[in-house]
Amino acid sequence: MLTVPRMAPALEAGRALSEFSSDVVVGLNHPGQKELPSKYLYDEVGSALFEAICTLPEYGLARAGKRLLERYSDEIVDQVPGGVMVAELGSGSAQQTRWLLEALARRQRVNYYPIDISRNALCRCQAELGQIDMVSMVGFERVYLDGLQEVAAQRRGEERLLVLFLGSTIGNFDRPAGEQFLREVRSILRPGDALLLGTDLVKPIGTLILAYDDPAGVTAAFNKNLLARINRELDGDFDLRHFEHVVRYDQSERRIEMHLRSTVWQRVVIRKAGFRFYLRQGETIWTESSHKYSAAEVVEMGERSGYRSAAQWFDFEWPFAQSLFLAV
């Protein structure tokens, strides 16, 4: 089931729309490089498009994470002894989480708490995992840390908390911000709690570019949907015909960047935000980053953030790591 929001649905929706509007105005007013927060890519349409991206032959990341969990879930859960409750940050449909939950359910009853800002994603998660024997599920339609605080409050006695942050979502943060996020997660945990962190590893640039700019154009549609969402929810007048999906790799930062480039000089009005702005021909809006790591860098980042590295598992078909950290 999904938790009932604390406030009336209309108030909750109004607050979310106000936050969306504010973030859009701030990002599009950003000096130099206009930008939009990547979390807003994942409305109902965007979440469905992302699920399609995960099936593309060029996007090996999702399959790599799934392979590791399929192969090593028993080893992973053996590293976290005792009674365990599971919280997943940004669960999406949680298809790859099944392997971990089934491994845990072979030894105990499991309480699983997916946390996602998309209600539609939580509904798909319920459909995907809601029938696993010995697993009880309560979804939280929250941002990561708010949801994790609420899950931690459900803890009983000496029960340990296993936090899942899969799919290399940590790569959407700049490196300092990602490390700070891990510290904030740690502040909610007790010693002995665990964090399973998925990270995409450095690989050939051509491989990365294809993964984020597939020939079928699914990722382009996913990216442009952010502008369509602004049109739908904030009464914007973005003309999607005048934007193209652009992918870049920043070698010094070791990150993929997704942009939307204006193909003409244009004025855009976002009526519900009371905002208008101009785009020059060739100017871009930066919509997402995906940082790539080395295996050693992941361990160092975790240890600086208040964890001990317990184990790492690697996929070499598509270089990717699942790293288990214990809170100290």
Average confidence (pLDDT) over 254-275: 98
Q: Which domains does the chain have, with CATH numbers?
A: 1-232+292-328 (3.40.50.150)
* Cβ-proximal residues to 73 (8 Å cutoff; 6+ apart), any chain: 99, 100, 102, 103
Collapsed DSSP state (helix, strand, coil) of residue 38 = helix
What's the pLDDT at 4? 39
Q: What is the pLDDT, as a whole number, of residue 9? A: 58
Which pLDDT score, from 0 to 100, does residue 94 have? Answer: 82
What's the mean pLDDT when you consider all of the chain? 93
pLDDT over threshold 70, residue 2: no
Contacts for 310 with CB less than 8 Å, ≥ 6 apart: 79, 194, 324, 325, 326
Answer yes or no: is pLDDT of 175 > 80: yes
d(CA 173, CA 192): 26
- 320-327 β-sheet, strand order: 135-137, 110-115, 84-89, 160-165, 194-200, 320-327, 307-315
What pLDDT shows up at residue 11?
A: 59
Q: What is the pLDDT of residue 60?
A: 96
Span 253-276, average pLDDT = 98
Q: What is the mean pLDDT of residues 259-274?
A: 98
CA of 13: how far to CAs of 6, 173, 179, 233, 294, in Å? 12, 26, 31, 11, 40
Taking residues 127-142, report their average pLDDT. Answer: 89
Pull the structure tokens for residue 288. 């997402």
